[in-house]
C-alpha cells in the first residue's frame, strides 16, 4: 500500500506556481458551491475538503488533507453494518492486509458511487450520518478548467439528508455554512413553522374533543337526576337488541312509574317533586348491577336495562327492593312525601324476533297492568296484552 | 381573517394588561364565542371591533396600540425565531420582508398577511410599502421592525407615514401605507442569540 498522502504531496510539489494559484482559486470556488465536498485521489486519500464538511469533521485542514478517507468515514448507514467490497472487485484486487471495507481504496469507492448513493457515518461519531454522491470522476487527467483533477480523482458531495435539523444543531451551523442555492434554510424554517402549526392543531383537536364529550354528555343525560335520558336509553336499547338478535346476550327491561307523584308536585311544590325524583334516581342506581343502565324517560317514568339475562325470580327480587325503597318514608322540609311505584318487566328471551318498539310497548302495558292491579307491584309482559302474567310467587304485591 | 391574528391581539391584551381586561374588551366589542381558534377563519370586522374596543378600553390611539402589538408579537419566541430565519443581519431581515407573505403561506396556506415591498432609497433609507385589505398594518409592521432592530442589535429610526390625506376611501384597491426605515448602525449592540436548529419542541 502506498503511504497516505504521498501522492498528494508529490503532486502539489510538482505543480508549477501558476497552477497552485489556479488550485487555490478552484478550491475557493468549489467550497462556495459545494461546502460539503470531498476530493479524493485514486488511493482514496483526501486532497481537499469543503468548509462545512471540515466543521463536521472537527479537525484542522492540515489533519484532513493527505489523510485516507477511511480515517474519518465508514461506508455504512447509521446503525447499519459497514459495507464490504463486492466479490467481483475482490477477485481482481491485489491488495494485501486489507479488511475489504468499501472506502479503503479509491477503486471500491468509485465502484460503489457509480452504482448508488453513498451513505457514510463518521468514525469519531457514529451517530452522525451523511449522504453523498459522486460529482465527478476523472479517468484521465483533466486539462484546462480544472487543473488539479488528475486521473483517478473523485469529487464527492455530501449532504445531511433528512438529519439536517439534528446535525445543524449538533455542529452549530449557520446559514453561512450552506451554499446560497441550498434550500436547507427553507427546510429548517418550514420544519419549525410546521411543528408550531401542528402544535396548534393538536391543541385544537384536544379542545374539540372535550367539547364533543361535553355535548355528548349533555345530549345523553337528564340534567335533574344525572341519569341517562330517553335518547341514551334508545341508543343502549338498540345495541342490546342487536346483541340479543345475534345470540350474544339476552337482557330484560324494567319500567318504573311512580305512583302519587303528581300529588306531591301539586300539594308540596316542584321542589319537593324534584327532591323525590333525585332520591329515586339515586336509589335505583344503587339497586342495579354495574353493567345495567338506569334512564329517566321523562316525568316520573324510569326505565332500567338489565343486562346478563336475569330470571323472573331475580327481576322480582329487584322489583321488591325498589318498591320497598320507593315506599320508605321520605321527608322534604318537614313534610312526608308519600310515593310508590308500578313496575313492568319484559325479557328479551321471551321473544322470537326482537323489536325495540314492541319491547317498549309491552313493558308499558305490563306497567299499566301493575297500576290496574292496585299499584306497588310488578307485572311481566311479552307479546299481546293477554299474556301479561301475574308476577306469581315473585310478585312483590304479596311482599310484606 | 385567520383566527391566529385575532388570537394574537387577545394574547397581547392578556399578556400586557391581564385576562380581566381582555374579557372586558371582548364584551365591549360584543364578540361571539369565548375566544378564537387560530386555524379557523373569522369575519374581518371582528378583528376591527376587537382593536377598536381595546383602544377605547385603554384610552390609546389606534396606531400606538398596533405598534405595541407588533412589538409584542416579536417578543413571542416562536414568532421571533421564524422572523430571524429571514436574514443573518438586520439588512438581510429587511430584504426578506419582500417574501414574508410567501414565507407565512409556506407554513399556513390560509394566512393572508399584507403584501410588503421594500425599496432602498438613494439617501440610504429603506421604504416599506404595506398593502392590505385593512388599515393599520403599517403600524403593526413598524412595531415589528423596531422590535427586530433590537433583536439584531441594530439602531434604526422607524416611522409610519400617515395615509395619504384625500385618498379616495371608496377606492376598492388595497390600502397602502408606508414605513420608512433609517438604519443608523447595523451593529449597535449585541444581537440576541439565534441558533438555527433549536430542536423542535424546546422553548
Structure confidence by residue, pLDDT tens digits, A69-80: 999 999 999 888
Are the Cβ atoms of B199 and A169 closer than 8 angstroms? yes
pLDDT at A31 (0 to 100): 87
Are the Cβ atoms of B106 and A189 closer than 8 angstroms? yes
Strand (E) or helix (H) holding B119: strand B115-120
For A115-170, what is each residue's pLDDT tens digit? 888 999 999 999 999 999 988 776 655 444 444 455 678 899 999 988 898 899 89
**CA distance readout (Å), B23 to A55, A103, A361, B27:** 53, 67, 52, 6
* Dist CA A284 CA A303 (whole Å): 10
Lowest mean pLDDT among A103-112, A217-226, A343-352, B191-200: B191-200
- Nearest-by-Cβ selection for B82 from A164, A168, A192: A192
Higher per-residue confidence, A143 vs B14? B14
Give the residue numbers in A contacting B (CB under 8 Å), as ranges.
Answer: 164-166, 168-169, 172-176, 185-186, 188-197, 200-201, 204, 207
| Architecture of the domain defined by A6-182 | 2-Layer Sandwich (3.30)
- DSSP structural state of residue A221: B
- DSSP structural state of residue B157: E
pTM of the model: 0.68
Assign A348 a pLDDT band (cuts: 50, 70, 90).
very high
Query: What ranges do the domains of chain B cover?
Result: 3-60, 85-185
pLDDT at A383 (0 to 100): 54
Are the Cβ atoms of A169 and B103 closer than 8 angstroms? no
**CATH number of A221-398, picked from 2.60.40.10, 2.40.30.10, 3.50.50.60, 3.30.70.270:** 3.30.70.270
Assign A10 a pLDDT band (cuts: 50, 70, 90).
low
pLDDT at B87 (0 to 100): 87
Assign A357 a pLDDT band (cuts: 50, 70, 90).
very high
* Dist CA A36 CA A181 (whole Å): 13
Residue-wise burial string across A2-18, b where 16 or more C-beta atoms lie within 10 A, e elsewhere: eebbebbeeebeeeeee
Residue A85 has pLDDT above 50, yes or no: yes
Are the Cβ atoms of B38 and A204 closer than 8 angstroms? yes
Residue B148 has pLDDT above 60, yes or no: yes
Residues of A belonging to the active site: 300
- Nearest-by-Cβ selection for B85 from A165, A185, A204: A185
pLDDT at A395 (0 to 100): 44
* Among A191, A240, A269, A270, CA closest to A359: A240
- Nearest-by-Cβ selection for B39 from A172, A175, A200: A200
Higher per-residue confidence, A147 vs B184? B184
pLDDT at B200 (0 to 100): 58
Chain A with chain B: Cβ pairs closer than 8 A: 60
Query: What ranges do the domains of chain A cover?
Result: 6-182, 184-220, 221-398
Lowest mean pLDDT among B94-103, B108-117, B166-175: B166-175
* Among A254, A258, A359, CA closest to A301: A258
Residue A64 has pLDDT above 80, yes or no: yes
Q: What is the ipTM of this complex?
A: 0.77
B85-185, what's its fold? Answer: H-NOX domain (3.90.1520)
For residue B81, which residues of chain A lie inside 8 Å, CB to CB?
192
Amino acid at each position: 500500500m502506498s503511504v497516505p498522502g504521498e501522492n498528494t504531496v508529490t503532486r502539489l510539489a510538482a505543480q508549477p506556481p501558476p497552477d497552485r494559484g489556479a488550485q487555490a482559486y478552484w478550491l475557493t470556488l468549489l467550497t462556495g458551491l459545494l461546502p460539503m465536498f470531498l476530493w479524493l485521489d485514486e488511493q482514496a486519500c483526501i486532497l481537499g475538503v469543503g468548509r462545512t464538511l471540515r466543521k463536521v469533521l472537527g479537525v484542522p485542514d492540515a489533519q484532513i488533507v493527505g489523510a485516507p478517507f477511511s480515517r474519518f468515514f465508514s461506508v455504512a448507514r447509521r446503525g447499519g453494518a459497514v459495507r464490504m467490497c463486492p466479490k467481483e472487485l475482490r477477485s481482481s484486487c491485489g491488495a494485501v492486509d486489507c479488511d475489504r471495507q468499501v472506502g479503503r481504496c479509491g477503486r471500491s469507492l468509485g465502484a460503489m458511487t457509480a452504482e448508488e448513493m453513498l451513505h457514510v457515518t463518521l468514525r469519531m461519531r457514529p451517530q452522525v450520518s451523511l449522504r453523498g454522491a459522486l460529482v465527478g470522476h476523472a479517468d484521465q487527467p483533466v486539462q484546462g478548467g480544472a487543473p488539479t483533477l488528475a486521473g483517478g480523482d473523485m469529487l464527492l458531495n455530501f449532504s445531511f439528508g433528512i438529519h439536517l435539523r439534528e446535525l445543524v444543531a449538533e455542529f452549530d451551523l449557520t446559514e453561512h455554512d450552506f451554499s446560497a442555492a441550498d434550500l436547507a434554510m427553507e427546510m429548517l424554517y418550514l420544519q419549525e413553522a410546521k411543528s408550531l402549526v401542528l402544535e396548534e392543531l393538536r391543541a385544537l383537536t384536544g379542545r374539540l374533543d372535550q367539547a364533543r364529550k361535553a355535548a355528548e354528555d349533555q345530549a345523553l343525560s337528564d340534567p335533574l337526576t344525572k341519569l341517562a335520558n330517553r335518547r341514551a336509553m334508545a341508543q343502549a336499547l338498540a345495541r342490546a337488541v342487536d346483541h340479543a338478535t345475534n345470540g350474544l346476550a339476552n337482557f330484560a327491561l324494567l319500567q318504573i312509574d311512580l305512583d302519587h307523584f303528581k300529588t306531591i308536585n301539586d300539594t308540596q311544590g316542584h321542589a319537593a317533586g324534584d327532591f323525590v325524583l333525585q332520591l329515586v334516581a339515586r336509589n335505583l342506581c344503587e339497586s342495579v348491577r354495574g353493567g345495567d343502565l338506569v334512564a329517566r324517560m321523562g316525568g316520573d317514568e324510569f326505565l332500567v336495562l338489565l343486562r346478563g339475562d336475569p330470571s323472573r325470580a331475580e327481576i322480582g327480587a329487584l322489583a321488591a327492593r325498589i318498591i320497598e325503597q320507593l315506599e320508605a318514608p321520605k321527608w322534604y322540609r318537614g313534610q312526608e312525601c308519600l310515593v310508590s311505584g308500578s313496575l313492568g318487566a319484559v325479557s328479551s328471551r321471551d321473544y322470537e324476533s326482537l323489536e325495540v318498539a314492541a319491547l317498549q310497548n309491552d313493558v308499558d302495558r305490563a306497567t299499566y297492568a301493575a297500576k290496574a292491579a292496585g299499584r306497588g307491584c310488578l307485572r311481566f309482559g311479552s307479546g299481546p296484552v293477554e299474556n301479561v302474567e301475574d308476577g306469581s310467587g315473585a310478585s312483590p304485591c304479596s311482599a310484606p | 381573517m385567520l383566527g391566529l391574528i385575532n388570537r394574537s391581539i387577545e394574547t397581547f391584551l392578556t399578556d400586557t394588561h391581564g385576562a380581566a381586561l381582555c374579557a372586558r374588551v371582548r364584551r365591549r366589542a360584543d364578540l361571539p364565542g369565548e375566544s378564537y381558534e387560530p386555524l379557523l377563519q373569522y369575519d374581518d370586522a371582528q378583528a376591527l371591533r376587537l382593536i377598536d374596543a381595546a383602544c377605547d378600553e385603554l384610552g390609546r390611539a389606534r396606531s400606538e396600540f398596533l405598534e405595541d402589538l407588533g412589538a409584542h408579537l416579536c417578543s413571542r419566541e416562536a414568532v421571533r425565531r421564524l422572523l430571524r430565519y429571514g436574514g443573518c443581519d438586520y439588512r438581510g431581515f429587511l430584504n426578506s420582508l419582500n417574501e414574508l407573505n410567501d414565507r407565512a403561506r409556506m407554513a399556513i396556506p390560509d394566512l393572508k398577511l399584507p403584501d410588503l415591498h421594500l425599496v432602498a432609497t438613494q439617501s440610504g433609507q429603506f421604504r416599506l410599502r404595506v398593502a392590505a385589505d385593512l388599515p393599520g398594518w403599517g403600524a403593526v409592521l413598524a412595531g415589528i421592525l423596531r422590535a427586530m432592530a433590537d433583536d439584531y442589535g441594530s439602531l434604526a429610526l422607524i416611522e409610519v407615514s400617515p395615509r395619504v390625506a384625500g385618498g379616495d376611501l371608496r377606492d376598492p384597491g388595497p390600502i397602502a401605507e408606508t414605513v420608512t426605515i433609517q438604519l443608523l448602525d447595523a451593529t449597535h449592540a449585541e444581537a440576541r442569540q439565534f441558533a438555527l436548529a433549536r430542536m423542535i419542541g424546546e422553548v
